[in-house]
Structure 1
């Protein structure tokens, strides 16, 4: 890597830095039930991480039921209200804050790119002890299309002033991996969102780790070069 190139990390939020996937699943279930649609939890979980529009379109296709614009607004409203009520249960994933702090210490830029709306993302970022106004945060409100389109990660790289090809996308879902592939970025999968290693690898992940703490222990495997991670062999006497 030349001196004029800068490596950067682009993080998904839910299931990647914070343990919030299942709160979102419950919130979506309550939101769908508010308009009379009942779906199994696992069907909802498989689509967490997609843009809200594609998420709803996919789930509603499975029910075969048409919905009105007013019902869609109702679903989105109830989801936001329910997730807000469950936010007190959300915790940072192991090693999440430590990973971000280490990248900052090493001078490696990072950003958060989430399919969630800014209002929800602000509250979730606060769980990490971070101020959404003080960090590079790209949400659904900032782009035309969310995941699995590449727009969020492209916008995050642009926000940092780095090339997308020099960026590492870190996410927990196949939608993150697909978006990274379409953006032509290297992607790393985490198991902390509920997807299996095989699914993430098949979707394009270069490496898969348990959670942020596991990634922190293996930063050298994803190209981070720093004295702390390099072995020096003693010269033979």
Structure 2
């Protein structure tokens, strides 16, 4: 069993990917031609500026910053209060901690959103460390967010696993030296997550739990 369990939040613990993508789509439309939802889904979980460089390649940096600012405002004002946590998260966290695991959250989202998500999840007592978008400049697949979570846990990469819903979570985990496991709650296929390096992929976090506790880690 791993000693450290690092969890993405959006799309992994909280059901908010459709709302996040819709708010981004609306923000892009205020500055230029629309981008199809299915196109944005391909980059769900990728660093926001990198996403915009791919989907609106002609937009200068200043416009990309404005789009991301607008997206955050639309999300908070229109969508944030309607999101819900996935079922069973507290039970999974409790099970891991009872078996000696240490839990960290590693998410690109920032203060207001993370605070709201934590109020919904009710897992503070099980979480040892948090690393969020306020702590690092670049989002996943940059590995620094995962590295920060590992540092706060006081564990090495081989002792830990990152659980996320996108290929970018897995890529960041592997680059930081940790293992990666995936859930299908973010809209990506099993193949996409396995190809990105996940050793196990399941429908949701409850279904993934047995794989997490039986996997071997290197110490």
Please indicate, yes or no, whether the TM-score normalized by the shorter chain is above 0.5: yes
Work out which of the residue numbers 14, 18, 25 in structure 1 matches 2:14. Answer: 18
The runs of 5 or more residues in structure 2 that have no matched partner are none
Render the CA deviation track for 1:139-166: whole Å, top value 9, x for unaligned. 1221243211111111001011111221
> Take 1:126 and 1:75, find their aligned partners in 2: how far apart are those partners?
28
Question: Structure 1 130/115 Cα, relative in aligned 2: closer, same or farther at 3 Å?
Answer: same
Q: CA deviation at 1:121?
A: 2.2
Note if contact 2:90-2:123 (Cα within 8 Å) is conserved in structure 1.
no
> Take 1:73 and 1:15, find their aligned partners in 2: how far apart are those partners?
23
Note if contact 1:18-1:96 (Cα within 8 Å) is conserved in structure 2.
no
Written as runs of structure 1 = structure 2, the 5 A alignment for 1:195-214 is 195-214=188-207
Q: CA deviation at 1:88?
A: 2.5
Question: Structure 1 222/95 Cα, relative in aligned 2: closer, same or farther at 3 Å?
Answer: farther
Relative to the length of structure 1, the TM-score reads 0.83
Question: Structure 1 117/220 Cα, relative in aligned 2: closer, same or farther at 3 Å?
Answer: closer
Work out which of the residue numbers 147, 156, 160 in structure 1 matches 2:149. Answer: 156
Q: Are residue 52 (structure 1) and residue 45 (structure 2) matched? A: no
Bigger Rg, which one: 1
Work out which of the residue numbers 161, 172, 176 in structure 2 matches 1:183. Answer: 176
The runs of 5 or more residues in structure 1 that have no matched partner are 225-237
Q: Are residue 72 (structure 1) and residue 64 (structure 2) matched? A: yes
Render the CA deviation track for 1:38-65: whole Å, top value 9, x for unaligned. 000011111111112212212212xxx2
- Between the two proteins, the alignment pairs up a number of residues equal to 215
Partner of 1:82: 74
Q: CA deviation at 1:217?
A: 4.3
> Take 2:70 and 2:128, find their aligned partners in 1: how far apart are those partners?
28
Q: Are residue 109 (structure 1) and residue 119 (structure 2) matched? A: no
Relative to the length of structure 2, the TM-score reads 0.89
Deviant stretches of 4+, over 4 Å: none
Note if contact 2:53-2:59 (Cα within 8 Å) is conserved in structure 1.
no
Superposed CA RMSD in Å reads: 2.1
